[in-house]
Structure 1
Amino acid sequence: MQPRALVTGASSGLGAEFALQLAADGLSLVLVARDAERLEELAAELRAARGVEVEVLAADLTEAEGLQRVADRLADAARPIDILVNNAGFAVAEPFHASAVDDERRMHELLSWVPLRLAHAALPGMRARGRGGILNVASLAGRLPSGTYAAAKAHVITLSRALHARYRGEGVTVTALLPGFVPTEFHERMGVAPTSVPRQGWADASTVVREGLRALRRRRGLVVSDWRYRIAAPLIPLVPDRIAAGFGLGGRTS
């Protein structure tokens, strides 16, 4: 039986790239996102190009019913999930004092609660089988005081570290992937043009995904991607908060 991965936010951006690279490695896939049409297009492409089994699960993870369906799929012992990629996300463009509180709630649920809920659903089966991997797409923003998006990503980093420390000895790896800026649809969906970041500051999506999957295979609990951001990461604690707060959103996915 082919190993199987479930990827959230799989319709575009880093999620689609995760699907492409996992299929290239021979894994069967469960693709999760709201846009069923885009998921079906990607699934057909992967089946034709890679000959892997691809299941489409259209769901809005900010809705209780959609989240429960994905959690149930993860807990299905008859069709086990070997790798969970928690990738779905969005950000609120407005500053905190001007943002809609319902938008803030949805963002924090998707970025913080959903990875926790889905990891909670996946872990029992992984522990019973003595193997498994959970890759949480966090952000280098989670180490910066740059808004509520950063606060949510800080939660993802801490959650990943805690779960990795607790379950690594039982064969389950939990890895936090910390990208910087990545050219996907993320900023476009926010309605923000990312013109303030020089082209040299953008990381390649395929590199970010490859480094994340490699860290998971090597059972690492955390990886900063790519080399430019690995150089910058140790300097972040030295930057005063009033300056670091202006760095804005660290790269995200669709």
Structure 2
Amino acid sequence: MGIFETEMRHKDIDHRVNMKSEDRDENGTFLYNERITAYSNEGITAYSNERITAYSNERITAYSNERITAYSNERITAYSNERITAYSNERITAYSNERITAYSNERITAYSNERITAYSNERITAYSNERITAYSNERITAYSNEGITAYSNERITAYSNERITAYSNERITAYSNERITAYSNERITAYSNERITAYSNERITAYSNERITAYSYERITAYSNERITAYSNERITAY
């Protein structure tokens, strides 16, 4: 795509979401309560230490096979009751030491065979009553010393043949009355010196032929009136 085509494409996107030049600050950033929206196979892409940021009840939204992608030490960040949402076979992807972060009652949500993926020392983090949720054969996956972490009454939930998987010295951790739950033939798996840990009246629960498995000097630990429960031909295994 040439420079002229790129400029026209950007103008086209601005036109569709009814944004004018005065809707941006001197750096080209969208102002208060506006949307950054991409329609039909378009991408919202930030290269080289840039940020895709939405402030104050705004949305970063991608429709129909689009990507929200940040390359090289960038952040996809939503503040104060905002959503990072991808619909229909789309990806929310962060490469190389980046964060996908939602603050204060926000959701990171992927629908229908989509992935929320963090590569190489990155975090998928939700603070204060938020959810990290994947529906229908999707994965919440963290690679290489990364954490999937939920704080304060939040859930890490996978529905229908999905996996919550942590590789290589990572933790799946839930604090304070939260649940790590897998439904229907799914696995909660930790490899190589990792922990699956639940603190304070929480449950680690697997339903219907699923496994809670820890390999190589790892712990499955429940503190203070909590349950580790396996139903119907399942295994709780530690190697």
TM superposition score normalised by structure 2: 0.29
Structure 1 length-normalised TM: 0.27
Q: Which structure: larger Rg?
A: 2
Give 1 or 2: higher strand fraction.
Answer: 2
